[in-house]
Structure 1
């Protein structure tokens, strides 16, 4: 485990010269994304952050931006409205960023929640949580890769469940549309594995970009109350139990933000970023070099080697082709 003191020491080295100067946060209006933005702004470095969120989040997020500007007047936070469960809106948001920026140093993707209730689809025909946790994330990456390649230390972080992959995914029904295939646990395990194997393929094609699939552990993000059918008694019981466990055993908002800022900046992952004197992280192929890193809540790299070998051999090609075909109209 990377100790919290080590993480704080690394983050204390972030300044105008070492900070990610241009960042895009998708999901930064709440949860881990919001905690990480606060941690980044609190470094005092000169940074520009595109904060992407739904229109309904704009008013409370404006207050959050004012708070950040008070903490760090050199932080330029740009509110960017976008309904990121819709791929057409993802494309619109990305096109706007590409018109304004010549590079992006950090792309931080954390929108989503577990689909506890009945299946809900977007107007584009995708299951809502899968669109948030997988398709829209991969579309953001594909659109912004040209800008990431212009950075000296580009990094992409997808916050979901890196290292928790299960090899028993439904490759014949990747979107879990067939009767009996959809459910909260089935959905999460499917989306986690799809994130990892698609990101690993992207990492192999973009060796200068560091990719991290992060498992944040127990953090009170409010997601225990999301995704349920309205009025569900089970939802209230579940939220009470989970939030109680998080209170006693989870990370605080501040520590979660600091740990994800460390993931966003430290040379522990891929040898780029803030100098790291500890043991170097190893990527999903077991190598201490750039690639995809499966990083758990302790900021340790997981291999999950047996599962990854199976996914790589049986499923990666099919998921890659399926995803590229589905996203092609929005590229």
Structure 2
């Protein structure tokens, strides 16, 4: 475990020279993304942040941006409206960002929520949580990698379930459309495995870019309710009675969560680039220390290669998942 004291000490070294100067946050209008934006701005460094959100979140995001400007007048926060559960909208947002920037230092991805109810597809025919957790994130990465490669210390941080991969990914029904396949547990197993195996492939092909798939642990973001259908009275009651109190009891504080993700976004502990780190170096998913690759980071900021699972996914799933993913994303690349 990386102690909170060590994390605060590392983050205290951030300044104009060591802070990501240009960052893109998809999912930064709430939850972990918003907490990390606040932590980044609170360093006092000169930063420019593209904050992406839905039309419905624009008003509260405007208030949030005003708060950030008061905290750090040197920070430039650019609001980018987009319904990024739609891949066409994700592409449009990426094109806007690419037209404004010559490089990107940090891409931070937190979109998504737990699907407690039945399948709910977007207008493009993709189940909405899979689009947010997987397809949209990979599309962001593929579009913005050329600008990330121009940074001196580029990082991609995707927050979902790094280190929790299982070998039971369904390669015959990757979008979980068959009757009985879609559900809370199945979707988590499927999307986490697909995300890690695809990010690992992209990391291998983009030496010099640090890829992190992180597990947030217990964080009280409020997103636990987002996937609940209004008709699911019993599930809503159970979440309110049991799950929300548990999250409140065991979760990190907002402050600590933001600081931990700022650390992941800036420390040389992962891949060797960023704020100098004298502690134990992170081990990537191919069990190599101090090298590029994909880092599976636990809620305590440790790394795990998930050594019993990742080699199996690499051998048996990676090619098929990539082929399927490119077929889905092809029209939007």
User: 1:198 maps to which residue?
Assistant: 198
The CA distance in 2 between the partners of 1:257 and 1:243, in whole Å, is 20
The CA distance in 2 between the partners of 1:313 and 1:296, in whole Å, is 24
- Matched residue of 1:104: which SS? coil
Mapped contact 1:224–1:239 kept (Cα < 8 A): no
- Matched residue of 1:77: which SS? strand
User: 1:124 maps to which residue?
Assistant: 124
User: 2:257 maps to which residue?
Assistant: 256
**Displacement, 1:236?**
2.8
The CA distance in 2 between the partners of 1:255 and 1:243, in whole Å, is 19
CA offsets 1:274-311 (integer angstroms, 9 cap, x no match): 00000100100010111100001000001111111111
Mapped contact 1:225–1:236 kept (Cα < 8 A): no
**Displacement, 1:231?**
3.5
Root-mean-square deviation (Å) = 0.7
CA offsets 1:93-129 (integer angstroms, 9 cap, x no match): 0001111100000000001001110110000000000
**Displacement, 1:147?**
0.3
Stretch moving more, 44-53 or 178-187: 178-187
CA offsets 1:124-181 (integer angstroms, 9 cap, x no match): 0000000000000000000000000100000001000000001101100100011111
**Displacement, 1:326?**
0.9
CA offsets 1:214-242 (integer angstroms, 9 cap, x no match): 00100001121111111422123213312
User: 2:300 maps to which residue?
Assistant: 298
- Matched residue of 1:108: which SS? strand
User: 1:276 maps to which residue?
Assistant: 277
Flag structure 1 segments of 5+ consecutive residues without an equivalent. Answer: none
- For this pair of structures, how many residues does the alignment match? 331
TM-score (norm 1): 0.99
- Matched residue of 1:326: which SS? helix
User: 2:105 maps to which residue?
Assistant: 105
The CA distance in 1 between the partners of 2:8 and 2:243, in whole Å, is 28
The CA distance in 1 between the partners of 2:277 and 2:242, in whole Å, is 38
The CA distance in 1 between the partners of 2:221 and 2:99, in whole Å, is 32
